Chain A
Amino acid sequence: MRIPCPYCGPRDSSEFSYLGDAAPTRPDPAAPGAEDAFFDYVYLRDNPAGPLEELWFHASGCRQWLKVLRDTRTHLISGAVFARPKAEVAR
């Protein structure tokens, strides 16, 4: 399996470490109900069968966190972008 790192080009998946679903975002810790929101954020995942945007870390490469679009049924990887928003990357 290869991941097209936007910085390094297509690289073998063994260079990356995997985190999981990229969708959950860290809740506002000051908002009401933060405890429930954090419980969801830490533990609850959808586990869809199909395309899923996931976080991968290019540990043996550019050390960038990537959002990789992978089909969980076929392992087909159809793209990867930096997890850091564009404006921040450019800085």
Chain B
Amino acid sequence: MSRLATGGLIDRSRPLAFTFDGRRYTGFAGDTLASALLANDVKLVGRSFKYHRPRGIVSAGPEEPNALVELRSGARREPNSRATVTELYEGLEATSQNRWPSLDLDILSVNRLVAPFLGAGFYYKTFMWPSSFWEKLYEPFIRRAAGLGRAAEGDDPDHYEKANAFCDVLVIGAGPAGLMAAKTAALAGARVILADEDALPGGRLNAETHEIDGAPGHAFAAATIAELGALPNVRIMTRTSVFGVYDGGTYGALERVSDHLREPLPFQPRQRLWRIVARRAVLAAGAIERPIVFGGNDRPGVMAAGAVETYANRYGVAAAKRLAVFANNDGAWRSAFAARAAGIEVAAIADVRPTIAPALLERAKALGIRVIAGGVVAGTAGKTLARIDIASGSRTDRIAVDGLAVSGGWSPNVHLTCHHGGRPVWREDIAAFVPGALPPGLSVAGAAGGTFSLAGAFREGFEAGAAAARDTGFAAPALDAPRAEDESVALAAFWHVAGSRGPAFVDPQNDVTAKDVAIAHKEGFRSVELLKRYTTLGMATDQGKTSNVTGLAIMAELTGAGIEATGTTIFRPPFTPVAIGALAGHHRGTEFRPVRLTPTHGWADEQGAVFIETGAWLRAQYFPRAGESDWLESVNREVKAVRSGVGMIDVSTFGKIDLQGPDAGVFLDRVYINTFSTLAISKARYGVMLREDGMVMDDGTTARLGEQHYVMTTTTANAAKVFQHLEFCLQVLWPELDVQLASISEQWAQIAIAGPRAREVLVGVVDPGTDVSDSALPFMGVAEARVLGGVKARIFRVSFSGELGYEIAVPARRGEDLARALMAAGAPFDITPYGVEALGVMRIEKGHVSGNELSGQTTAGDLGLGRMASTKKDYVGRIMAARPGLTDPERPSLAGFRPVNPAERLRAGAHFVPVGGPADAAHDQGYMTSVAYSPNLGHWIGLGLIRRGQERIGEKVRAHDPVRGGDVEVEICAPCFLDPKGERLRG
């Protein structure tokens, strides 16, 4: 066991059992999986991505590149979970990744032997040719050899939420700077949200051994959090990562509500995606310690110096029994002293700098730590680390250690500052990139801005909090800054030990070595963006949090251009991975989007209807009856019932728009190609409207109810689009017109009855004394009447099916009553409910165009509606519809199609090619838009667009359908297959 006897912010009274690769271990509440593994002397936790090299834990935070595990099992299995931020819970199950058959013995580690082939540009060079090898050979090989964990196979059993929050000041990070900023803004009176990705706020205060106002740092953090938590204007969000900065002060954040539990509590989401709108924000996200690259630097036991300190102080774990330190800065010395204070033997400190501050040397001497100034690690040995070689001048010291704490300095977490395109700026004195141009409303405090001392963090936190409060209208309070050490953070830039022994990893997660960077340089991929893509540096799940700066610094050394000129790659959201489940939230499965139900949905359900999604609507597709073997049989019955008797269908889904005002008629004349101002009151007319580019936008009937009152219907699909278009015409194009619009689609239920017996059914539902005879209500007539005993109704004598038909509109809440009343009134005539399939069959039999023909690429002329266009007025689309390309007689236009052999089936989407000619694009004459089986004709029929369609009636072509293997000879005919004179609907 490597658990220290005392110390740490863990609860030793609460042991937690967990398994790793099937073996049982015990940790404590407050542990992460990483700290618990280290406490149990588990040093080897995974195999690397390409070379399957053994890897251990290197960090104590979200930047971890190595310790990625599969967490949980079954449908909850989650690959690439970072052990360093995975809170331990009772029964946690973790499995190592990338090894076969076991972590200890990994057969694919022979990849190391072929390392020359897996180097920079490997994917580009090796798998280019022949392309036919890709699917069968290359891809499976790469996936097997270079995988990173397995996704769960089952549906995610947990659910995810989305939520919004608003505040004056958002503080990102609850370390010393963030705590101070939040406290200052909160005491000023601002509404503050303090978000921290850790379960325990405090940041470095929990990891280091500072004294603040005479108390330990972690106690100061806890006291400050308690103080903030008691304020009504403060919301503390722990386990919450702010991952993106969006427009207008909007921040994306992920709250891991239940990730620290074995499974979510009842009714609790697994994670919650927050959209936080903040007037001001303070980024206090700290910094990440970066490594120094040397040969064998990936051996388990090599860690970040700060991580060793964190494991000792926060978790009471000795990451090593005998430790050496390799660094280029003063901070790492304090990590060494902290480790020593926790009881870890520190064998040596090797610092690349030849001259060390006397105070540090004195302290090391007092603690009995050997110092090798100007020393670098020249090599390492052991399966897990057993020995390091330190070269200084001409001598080499071999030192037996099981831990090496490395520090190459610190990289501020500038990521979020770059989300609006700002580029970080290089600061030579700290050898680090600091934020450049900031997103509006965001400021930076503490280590995130390159101020690494504790006193500096407090000072900047106070200033940023006070400024944010002032900016949002609050007077900043007078606060005493906590008394803390202004410790030295001196450093000498140092990136890479040249000439060290063994592969030197820059990006351990993607197995990119210093040599790969050199190859990229040699082959000309010198821009950082090319370096990244050619070598895959920084492209793994950690997005290069520890490796980016080092990689580009090595490139800068090679080019001699300097780091500032070399620059960084562009940082884009998210800062940390966000599960797709969290982004989807509740929008999955049947809840993917809201569903609209028709007013008669419940009634249709009772009738056993099969429903189909049409846009956002769920509509009855057909009404199967016992004994019917398939949908076609049901649909054929419904069609025949309408044509021989009477049927009914809910058509409430059509868009309905009420237009009123003295200029309503003029307005309609300008949006339709035909004229409505001359329409008689109590009459309806079919209209076609174009887009301004001359293409058909929509069609439908519009009725005139009064001198200044019209009701328009649109297609179901275009209801919202047409309404928006009409508002545009009215508000933007012709504001001088006095017309008011209102969408009444939701307010009116509308049911169509159709068939020779339709009038008799209608008579049965209108109130006594209502005249619906042919003379009182002729074809295209409209009546405002009462039905069902006093219910206000509008009756439109219109027909989509080609039969005598009426559409009866009643207030939406009475729609179901109307359906039942129609069924009762129609019972003597065997009234048959029909669905959208039968409706579609009948409209194709009649040659009426619908969504498939109104594709946005057809003109009125293409659809045989050109003669409707008025030449006496202007309307939207008129000018552009006259363009030569849109009036070309060669354009495909609407025609009907019947199979020459009546037994053959037609398919929508088939292309028309000449009989006996080649079936290729050069001979393509158009395509089939809609097909149906006509039970009245006894064969399949189709509508389609074919070149010069109207002139070619009687000609034969092939309907060629290579996708489904069909090739059917068809005869071109008029688009209307049934009752072309329209005698039935006038009956």
Contact = CB atoms under 8 A, between A and B. Distances in A.
Contacts of A59: 720, 724
A57 B440 contact: no
Given A29-B874, A75-B247, A85 B880 contact: no
B248 interface: yes
A15 interface: no
B248 to A, nearest CB: 5
A65 B735 CA distance: 11
Contacts of B480: none
A83 B731 contact: yes
Given A63-B727, A84-B732, A84-B735, A42 B248 contact: no
B564 interface: no
A76 B247 CA distance: 7
A41 B247 CA distance: 30
Interface string A64-91: 1100000000111100001111001001
Nearest to A34: B879
Contacts of A44: none
B420 A65 contact: no
Nearest to B691: A42
B693 interface: yes
Contacts of B983: none
Contacts of A83: 731-732
A17 to B, nearest CB: 7
Given A74-B420, A84-B735, A57 B728 contact: yes
B879 A29 contact: yes
Given A38-B879, A38-B880, A88-B735, A30 B692 contact: no
A41 B878 contact: no
A51 to B, nearest CB: 15
A82 B420 CA distance: 29
Nearest to A57: B724
Interface string A1-33: 110000000000000010100000010011000
B970 to A, nearest CB: 36
Given A38-B880, A59-B720, A65 B248 contact: no
Contact of A39 (B724, B736, B874, B880): B880
A55 interface: yes
B12 interface: no
A65 B883 contact: no
A42 B420 contact: no
B905 to A, nearest CB: 41
A63 B420 CA distance: 31
B874 A17 contact: no
Among A17, A63, A85, residue most surrounded by chain B Cβ atoms (within 10 Å): A63
- Residue of A30, A41, A65 contacting most chain B CB atoms (<10 Å): A65
A41 B874 CA distance: 16
Given A29-B879, A84-B732, A17 B724 contact: yes
A17 B723 CA distance: 12
Contact of B882 (A35, A42, A64, A91): A35
Contact of B879 (A35, A65, A84): A35
Nearest to B737: A88
Contacts of B874: 29-30
B337 to A, nearest CB: 47
B548 interface: no
A32 to B, nearest CB: 12
A91 B879 CA distance: 31
A3 to B, nearest CB: 9
Interface in B507-556: none
A3 B277 CA distance: 13
Contacts of A91: 738
B733 interface: yes
B742 to A, nearest CB: 9
B879 A57 contact: no
A76 B731 contact: no
A72 B224 CA distance: 42
A41 B692 contact: yes
Contacts of B248: 1-2, 75, 77
Contact of B440 (A41, A64, A76): A76
Nearest to A3: B248
Contacts of B720: 59
Given A63-B727, A83-B732, A38 B420 contact: no
Nearest to B730: A84
A64 B731 contact: yes
B878 A29 contact: yes
B716 to A, nearest CB: 18
A34 B874 CA distance: 12
Contacts of A1: 246-248, 250
Most buried by A among B248, B440, B693, B883: B248
A75 B247 CA distance: 7
Interface string B251-278: 0000000000000000000000000010
Given A29-B874, A30-B874, A74-B420, A19 B728 contact: yes
Contacts of A82: 731
B878 A85 contact: no
B692 A38 contact: yes
Contacts of A42: 692-693, 880
A30 B880 CA distance: 13
B250 A55 contact: no
B370 to A, nearest CB: 55
Nearest to B741: A63
A37 to B, nearest CB: 8
Interface string A41-68: 1110000000000010101000111000
A39 B879 CA distance: 9
Contacts of A34: 879
Given A2-B248, A59-B720, A65 B732 contact: yes
A65 B878 contact: no
B733 A57 contact: no
Contacts of B727: 57, 63-65
Interface in B863-910: 874, 878-880, 882-883
A82 B967 CA distance: 56
A4 B263 CA distance: 42
A85 B737 CA distance: 12
A43 B691 CA distance: 13
Contacts of A43: 693
Given A1-B248, A38-B692, A42-B692, A65 B880 contact: no
A45 to B, nearest CB: 14
A70 to B, nearest CB: 10
A55 B735 CA distance: 15
Given A1-B248, A30-B874, A38-B692, A84 B731 contact: yes
A43 B880 CA distance: 11
A29 B875 CA distance: 9
A88 B878 CA distance: 26
Contacts of B882: 35
Nearest to B742: A63
Contacts of B250: 1
Nearest to A28: B874
Contacts of B883: 35
Chain B CB count within 10 A is highest, among A39, A43, A57, for A57
Interface of A: 1-2, 17, 19, 26, 29-30, 34-35, 38-39, 41-43, 55, 57, 59, 63-65, 74-77, 82-85, 88, 91
Given A19-B728, A63-B727, A76-B247, 20 more contacts: A1-B246, A1-B250, A2-B248, A17-B724, A26-B692, A35-B882, A38-B692, A38-B879, A39-B880, A41-B692, A55-B728, A57-B724, A64-B727, A65-B731, A75-B247, A77-B248, A82-B731, A84-B731, A84-B735, A91-B738
11 contacts: A17-B724, A19-B728, A29-B879, A34-B879, A35-B883, A57-B724, A63-B727, A64-B727, A64-B731, A65-B732, A91-B738
7 nearest interchain CB pairs? Answer: A1-B247, A88-B735, A75-B247, A84-B731, A38-B879, A29-B874, A65-B731
Interface of B: 246-248, 250, 277, 420, 440, 692-693, 720, 724, 727-728, 731-733, 735-736, 738, 874, 878-880, 882-883
